[in-house]
Structure 1
């Protein structure tokens, strides 16, 4: 579908398509964090719920950043449809394991787009995406640190409440 309009945009057409796919992934992440936050709220883990509500909002901001970049460069960003969001979890630890897996998947996707940018010499898109590369390193690190707390403290009784409090305070 490389019509004349798509050929006159400021970013590579293939990169634009990959960025639109990334918009969907960011929207799915936002919805997934929202579902995780709801599970935490329902189970009295309000510190973790607050943390995950913020994560959901942050993922939406990432989606919008990409959305605007595409449109600002003459492309067409597409509003994503979000489906297949997991709502049931067995534990708080499972939520954070799922979140880490999700972030690793997003990192791989961003890295694939950056690699394609280099291949097609779309330097503006590559430069734009470098912020996301750094952001993803931070995101993965946060979730790894949270999972280490589970390893240290366990998940029974008061340990779960203490973990929830640590997550709330960003420790």
Structure 2
């Protein structure tokens, strides 16, 4: 059984995952508008993956006999200049989500809720992969550059990255 404190934090995480999905979907629209079809596809696919992350927490809460609660999700405010800015913001966002997951894990340990601790280990590993992914994209952008053909190459490379 989830404590009230942990239930509240898990419900907050549901909404953070929803926000992540909306953020990436909005960034996908920006990329599509700029003719960056590979980036748009990647971000749209990533938005769908974030919805799966949300659903997983939602189902876990329900499976414990508690009730998942959906809250208000803020409109993603994006102010993007170029493709590097997209991935700098996603990398920063994923580091924020990692901190939130780590804080949740800390609560499970302090409350000795080992079932939820075990459940969250998937998210710990997933966040490691997310940060690694977005950092690697930034590294490629820095190596290839955004001038001329560089932007085309980056968009093509990002479009070929498989999510999930």
TM-score, with structure 2 as normaliser = 0.96
Count of aligned pairs between the two proteins: 162
User: Any conservation in 2 of the 1:39–1:88 contact (CA below 8 Å)?
Assistant: no
Q: Which runs of 4+ in 1 moved over 4 A?
A: none
Tell me what 2:15 maps to: 24
Offset of residue 11 of structure 1: 1.5
**Higher Rg:** 1
Offset of residue 158 of structure 1: 1.1
More deviation in 27-36 or 78-87? 78-87
Gap regions ≥5 residues in structure 2: none
The match for 2:59 among 41, 59, 68 is: 68
CA distance in 2, matches of 1:68, 1:78: 11
Offset of residue 58 of structure 1: 0.5
Tell me what 2:85 maps to: 94
CA distance in 2, matches of 1:40, 1:26: 21
Gap regions ≥5 residues in structure 1: 1-9
Instruction: Kindly provide the CA deviation profile for residues 18-75 of structure 1, in whole angstroms up to 9, marking residues without a partner as x.
Output: 0001011111100000000000000000000000001100001101110111111011
Tell me what 1:52 maps to: 43
Offset of residue 123 of structure 1: 0.7
RMSD: 1.1
User: Any conservation in 2 of the 1:27–1:80 contact (CA below 8 Å)?
Assistant: no
TM-score, with structure 1 as normaliser = 0.92
CA distance in 2, matches of 1:143, 1:61: 19
Q: Does 2:29 correspond to 1:38? A: yes
